[in-house]
Amino acid sequence: MADGVAADSANPFFAPWSTPFELPPFERIAPDHFRPAFDRALAAHKAEIAAIAEDSAAPTFANTVDRMERSGRELRRVSAVFFNLAGSHTNDALQAIEREMSPLLARHRSAIFMNQALYARFAALFDQRELLGLSAEQARVLDRYHTIFVRAGAQLEPESRKRLAAILERLATLGTQFSQNVLADEKAYTLILEGEDDLAGLPDFLRAAAAREAEERGVPGKHVITLSRSSIEPFLAFSARRDLREKAFLAWAARGDTGGETDNKAIIAEIVALRAERAQLLGYETFADYKLADTMAKTPAAALDLLHNVWRPAVARAGRERDALQRLAAEEGGNFELAAWDWRYYAEKLRKREHDLDEAEIKPYLQLDRIVEAAFDTAYRLFGLEFEELAEAPRYHPDVRIWEAKREGRHIGLFVGDYFARPSKRSGAWMSSFRAQEKLAGEVRPIIANVSNFAKGDPALLSFDDARTLFHEFGHALHGLLSDVTYPLLAGTSVPTDFVELPSQLYEHWLEEPQVLRRFAVHYRTGEPMPEALIERVLAARTFDQGFATVEYTASALVDMDLHQLRTADNLDPARFEREALDRIGMPREIAMRHRTPHFAHIFSGDGYAAGYYSYLWSEVLDADAFEAFRQAGDIFDRETAQKLHDFIYAAGNRRPPDEAYRAFRGRMPSIQALLEKRGLFEAPTDARAS
């Protein structure tokens, strides 16, 4: 990305892009371009909205809904570039702009969806929708807009609308500060390993990654562990130095909880209070009630029923896992009670003992490039997609790679892969878009990005969890790439949170299929495929340590739900609330939440997953059942099943309610039995349904 001050005449956002497939011309975009581009795009969008709202003609679908969907194109273009960079390759200048723009954009959205004249036009159309002769997709767009207006406060009295707009603006500011604080803590921390004693137990791949990180951090000749998950988790799994494991773990757990300028606890308290007030203004008892009303779950009670049905067998299994790890530690002379920084270390040893398997043995067979190929090949066999890398396309960082996706020679979209950790990138892995699919303005094809934080290497080698993450995010990417709708509002991943994880989690299943591993899991030095015996051991260990994994996730989901069922959050102490919530559910002392509240970006950097972290588990009920459809067909690439999956899930966007979409694919809704079996928790089956 270019640096320096730029005159308006040179602003790339003020002219069409002549780049391949109209990719953003990243090399010409400087931070100083964004604020003028936002200002112009906001002014244009405001004028477009005013023209719709003030139209003297009676409302029709064409002069109201269609025009609404065509409006704001420049704002979407600027926002897509800016917020992608703010997450994946930020700097001080971009962060300052993000702090400025987040509340302004929230104010702009409130002004649109609280506009009484505009809402009146949509309400009039909604009231007579049965008489308008709308197509199914048009009816869905109108229904979604009406829902959005109502949930945004369009029906409130003027004073309540004013207060709600102020709340939303403040929440945007707080969410931005929360995420920037977490990133600052992650960037600031390094654990420098000085000598061989500090490296005890670390396999070659982790030593090499830590040495490379030390070079980049300006301490050559040493080894550095960072708070990137791809660095910290393998360190916790392999380091024989319990004191260093504790030090690293406590730093990881303390992100956003340092007591200094980047401490997030006061931000959390204010966010929870404002969300509760927002929900009550809109007529809901709690934010969780408000949020889930527009999801598959519909109510907090339904989500909690699922979480508790999984929590009970997960805790029981985790207890047995803990006992086994404690015995192993005692055998090795460990005169201590197992702690959270010990779990991964002894679990890795136990996996080696029980399954003759360790990550150091698996990683040489999981080259990043080959796993990318595996994801692409699976997409070809399921959906007919082919990927051709574009060597000369513009990109915002040298590590970024770009492919054109085609089907039967026809352009489908672009896929952007940004795989490696760096200080300018927030942690985690995600899918986003630089452009969404639509047909209202002609055949607009998407530009979809996957962003991850894998460790660099030559070649880059992945853990099996890393490989699963790659498949997961590529499942999201396919949801965007295969989108086939007319209206932007319905495109791609614009579906309820507890449905959006279905395409991604379902896609993970193909990675674990022997025929995929035999072809793509090849040794980076010899080129030999992963031995059959190793494949068998890898697959046999799929449910190993699943008590731990399920507990750390479900605890986070339950704390999220508890926070957002508060009717008031006066004097909320997030740290105490977290402790008390975990005590109530009987959280094992040796396991930490997957995301402690001070760095729980899913629910506090925005409200996308707020009162919605349960969604991964809800979708897992669906994905476990959905993959069973391929097994029942006798072929994991069965053409007829894949076509239905394409038509009703991956390509369908939000053309219909998600429960209808799933029933169209599968013929029924699933029970959670398939999920319990997948996770090895089937000791406590239940008939609860995700419906």
H-helix or E-strand spanning residue 411: strand 410-420
DSSP line for 105-174: HHHHHHHHHT-HHHHHHHHHHHHTGGGTT--HHHHHHHHHHHHHHHHHTTTS-HHHHHHHHHHHHHHHHH
585 class by beta-carbon count within 10 Å (0-12 exposed, 13-18 middle, 19+ buried) = middle
Quick check: helix, strand or coil at residue 69?
helix
CA count, 13 A, side-chain hemisphere, 280: 14
The stretches of 522-614 forming alpha helices (DSSP H) are 532-540, 546-563, 574-585, 601-604
Beta bridge partners of 224: 192
CA count, 13 A, side-chain hemisphere, 89: 20
Establish whether the linkage from the previous residue to 459 is cis, with ω within 30° of 0: yes
User: What does the block give as tokens for 661?
Assistant: 């979409």
Write down how long the chain is: 691
Quick check: helix, strand or coil at residue 495?
coil
Question: Taking a C-beta distance cutoff of 8 angstroms, is the pair 658, 639 a contact?
Answer: no
Quick check: helix, strand or coil at residue 241?
coil
User: What does the block give as tokens for 426?
Assistant: 């927030």
d(C-alpha 179, C-alpha 525), whole Å: 40
409 class by beta-carbon count within 10 Å (0-12 exposed, 13-18 middle, 19+ buried) = exposed
Question: Taking a C-beta distance cutoff of 8 angstroms, is the pair 596, 264 a contact?
Answer: no
d(C-alpha 473, C-alpha 432), whole Å: 10
H-helix or E-strand spanning residue 381: helix 368-383
Strands (E), 213-258: 223-225
H-helix or E-strand spanning residue 661: helix 658-666
Buried-state track 500-522, b at ≥16 Cβ within 10 A, e below 16: bbbbbbbbbbbbbbeebbeebbb
Q: Is 332 one of the annotated active-site residues of the chain?
A: no
| Angle 288-564-561 from CA coordinates, rounded to 5° | 80
d(C-alpha 166, C-alpha 161), whole Å: 9
Instruction: Quote the longest CA-to-CA distance of the chain.
Output: 83
State whether the Cα torsion 296-299-303-309 is positive or negative: negative
- Among the listed residues 169, 348, 473, 620, the single catalytic one is 473
d(C-alpha 228, C-alpha 428), whole Å: 8
Query: Which are the catalytic amino acids?
Result: 473
